[in-house]
Structures are given as structure tokens and as C-alpha cells.
């Protein structure tokens, strides 16, 4: 019944923040998405609302947005209702980007099994279209922040061969989107993060 609801919505070119349960800080990196939205509106011809909305996984409101963004440092919990709604959203054409702000990985992998029990996160090859939409990233996902000395990984969930969910791990794109004074990242690092973010937005809006 819900399939395709967001397609004709007035928010059809907006994104929203996913407010999940479990106690993790879903609200972290408060300046990140406004900065990314501003960058996208200026560089890839989007017309997104400057301030992203906040939606919950079980809400029908998620179907208004082609892209949901999720981040945090810790625990994530999806109820069965959350999982069913998210699965319907993704199957109907939605896209979720989960950016691990450090510490989400074990929790999100467990909860995604509720959404797609028979699917595994698969690392995307460097030549995947998401690295070549608006900007070129021949080496794949850029490294923005160092945590455990691991390489950055872009992990995807697929439904009927369509990439429906992207989990960015050991990259911390959101930190690179934040205001410059928050992490004191060099301009070239912030630019890489914003360009990769723009690729994700464009991919989500066009696929």
C-alpha cells in the first residue's frame, strides 16, 4: 500500500535524518547535513530544503524522501515495525545512507538483518557508479578521519540488483561535512568529503 508514495511528494528532492531507537546519538554532527545540502544545491543543481527534516523508521513520513541519512556512535535498535517499514521504503525505491561516526558497525549490521534477513553488506568495487556520478573517486571511498587505522569501506545492500543502502565505514564523511572549526580538517579533506556526499545524493536521487 505504501509503495511509491514518496515519488510524487513535494519533498521528492529532499533528504531527512533517521531518528532511530537504541540510545545511539542519531543527532550527532548537527552542522554536517546543512553544509552538504548547501554544497549540493550550489554544485549539482539540487534544490533541497536547507534544513533537513527528522523522521522515525516506523513513520509513513519516510516515504516522502528519496534519501534518508543515518549516523551516530553507538547502539541502534529497529523494532519489527521499524524493519518492515524500512524494507517497504527501500523496496519501493528509497535509499538509505548510514555513515558510521565511529562505533555503529556491530549494531547496525545486526539490525539490518531484520530489514533484509537474507542479504549481506557487500563492499562496493572502486568502479561502482556511486564513485563516478558528480565527482570522480577512482580509488573509491575517501578517508576523512582516522580512528582505528583501518581502510575506508563502502558497503552496500542490494535489492534485485539495485543498491538500496550504503554503509560508509572507517571514513567518517559526516565529520568532513561539519563546519570547519568543529574538527579543523584541511580544506582539501572537507572538499573530498562534500564531493563524495554529493555523489551519494545524486546517486540516490537518480536511481
> Is residue 143 a contact partner of residue 193, using CB atoms and an 8 Å limit?
no
Q: What's the rounded mean pLDDT across residues 120-130?
A: 97
Report pLDDT digits (tens) over 126-136: 999 999 999 99
Q: What is the pLDDT of residue 12?
A: 64
Q: Rounded to a whole number, what is the largest CA-CA distance in the chain? A: 47
Predicted TM-score (pTM) of the model is: 0.92
Q: Are strands 162-169 and 153-159 parallel, antiparallel or unpaired?
A: antiparallel
Label residue 8 by pLDDT band (50, 70, 90): very low
All domains in the chain, ordered by first residue:
5-206 (3.40.50.12140)
Q: What is the pLDDT of residue 196?
A: 98
**Whole-angstrom distance, CA of residue 40 vs CA of residue 79:** 33
* 131 phi and psi angles, rounded to 5 deg: -90, 5
Write down the mean pLDDT value for the chain: 90
List own/partner pairs for 2-6 with CB under 8 A and 24 or more apart.
2/60, 2/63, 2/85, 2/88, 2/89, 2/92, 3/88, 3/91, 3/92, 4/92, 4/93, 5/60, 5/63, 5/64, 5/92, 6/62, 6/63, 6/64, 6/65, 6/66, 6/89, 6/92, 6/93, 6/94
Q: What's the rounded mean pLDDT across residues 163-167?
A: 97
Lowest mean pLDDT among 5-14, 67-76, 78-87, 149-158: 5-14
Amino acid at each position: 500500500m505504501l509503495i511509491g508514495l514518496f515519488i510524487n511528494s513535494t519533498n521528492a528532492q529532499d533528504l531527512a535524518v533517521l531518528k532511530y531507537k537504541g540510545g545511539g546519538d542519531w543527532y550527532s554532527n548537527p552542522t554536517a547535513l546543512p553544509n552538504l545540502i548547501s554544497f549540493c544545491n550550489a554544485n549539482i543543481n539540487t534544490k533541497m530544503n536547507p534544513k533537513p527534516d527528522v523522521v522515525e523508521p516506523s513513520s509513513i513520513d519516510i516515504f516522502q524522501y528519496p534519501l534518508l541519512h543515518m549516523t551516530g556512535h553507538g547502539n541502534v535498535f529497529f523494532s519489527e515495525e521499524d524493519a518492515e517499514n524500512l524494507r517497504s521504503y527501500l523496496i519501493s525505491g528509497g535509499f538509505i545512507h548510514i555513515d558510521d561516526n565511529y562505533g555503529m558497525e556491530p549494531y547496525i549490521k545486526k539490525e539490518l538483518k531484520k530489514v533484509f534477513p537474507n542479504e549481506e553488506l557487500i563492499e562496493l568495487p572502486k568502479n561502482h557508479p556511486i564513485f563516478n556520478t558528480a565527482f570522480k573517486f577512482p580509488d573509491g571511498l575517501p578517508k576523512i578521519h582516522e580512528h582505528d587505522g583501518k581502510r575506508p569501506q563502502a558497503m552496500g545492500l542490494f535489492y534485485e540488483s539495485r543498491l538500496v543502502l550504503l554503509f560508509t565505514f572507517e571514513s567518517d564523511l559526516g565529520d568532513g561535512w561539519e563546519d570547519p572549526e568543529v574538527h579543523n580538517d584541511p580544506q582539501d579533506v572537507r572538499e573530498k568529503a562534500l564531493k563524495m556526499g554529493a555523489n551519494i545524493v545524486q546517486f540516490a536521487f537518480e536511481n
